[in-house]
Amino acid sequence: MTELTDAEVPAYWAALGLPGLIDIHVHFLPPQMLAKVWAYFDQAVEHYGVAWPIEYRFSEEERISRLRALGVRAFPALAYPHKPGMASWLNDWTLDLAARIPECVPSATFYPEPDAMSYVASALERGARVFKVHVQVGGFDPRDPLLDPVWGLLAEAGVPVVTHCGSGPIGGTFTGPDVMEAVLRRHPSLTLVVAHLGSPEYAAFVDLVDRYPRVYLDTTMAFTDFLEAVASVPDSVRDRLPDLGDRVVLGSDFPNIPYSYAHQIEALDRLGCGSDWLRAVLWHNGARLLNIAG
């Protein structure tokens, strides 16, 4: 296909017979926190060795408008803490945003701290339908005993946890598939959504999909020209994708991406996995995980 533009995205999903897109990996943050995140990406050459210009550096209102124009019918406001004492007030913020924005799916997060079980249970009672964890940024061990009852509660509730647990773009002490598999051995029914297709440990995370019935992969940045230049998905993993159609879900990392939203859709299209696979990834799998009707 020719290069897809954002303006052409609605026609693309309409041609597949879809009512829009469901994106499980979108970030909205309190303004001061978002400003710090964008300032970090402005120094990406220093951190990652590559430039990372933010494509959608707009106001909250404009970012929501852009998602609506693309036809993104449901998205969470994934926030995550990097130290103790942040998760509870971040949950208040994301849940309040979801109450204001119809397309925003109520989301929450957690950190290994004594009150984690309490505020996770509270977030579930307030309607949270997806959680976010960032192992590298948080710098914590997912196997921490303080989190064991939290993982258990979320497994029992069947609520997905979008987890950045791969070692890209830079690794952490507790990133990688072995750490998350230890959690899954304790909680095999956990609905774990591996962010970024597990980059760069793609094959090992796909193996987790084979071994655990509730492990999914999100497409965030995967197969785009940007990520392919630094952590290409091997052919052995690409060959397995057609058989994983019900376990792969659209993610984008909007707004913090260095290319257009359309490029993520184009990157999935050029895999050549077929229309049924695309329909599942762009809508049906996300609808099932986030409990979206229609």
Reported as a single tens digit per residue, the pLDDT across 71-110 is 999 999 999 999 999 999 999 999 999 999 999 999 999 9
CATH code for the domain in which residue 247 is found: 3.20.20.140
Residue 132, in any domain of the structure? yes
Residue 126, in any domain of the structure? yes
* pLDDT, tens digit, 9 for 90 and up, residues 212-243: 999 999 999 999 999 999 999 999 999 999 99
Q: Measured between alpha carbons, how far is 151 from 187 in angstroms, rounded to an integer? A: 7
Residue 1, in any domain of the structure? no
For 111-126, b where at least 16 C-beta lie within 10 A, e where not — what string? bbbeebbebbebbbee
Q: Which domain holds residue 147?
A: 6-290
The answer for residues whose C-beta is within 8 angstroms of residue 246's C-beta and 6 or more apart is 280, 285
Residue 182, in any domain of the structure? yes
Is pTM beyond 0.75? Reply is yes
Q: Is the pLDDT of residue 294 over 70?
A: no
Domain count, the chain: 1
The answer for residues whose C-beta is within 8 angstroms of residue 89's C-beta and 6 or more apart is none
- Contact between 102 and 53 (Cβ < 8 Å): no
Mean pLDDT of the chain: 97
The pLDDT assigned to 190 comes to: 98
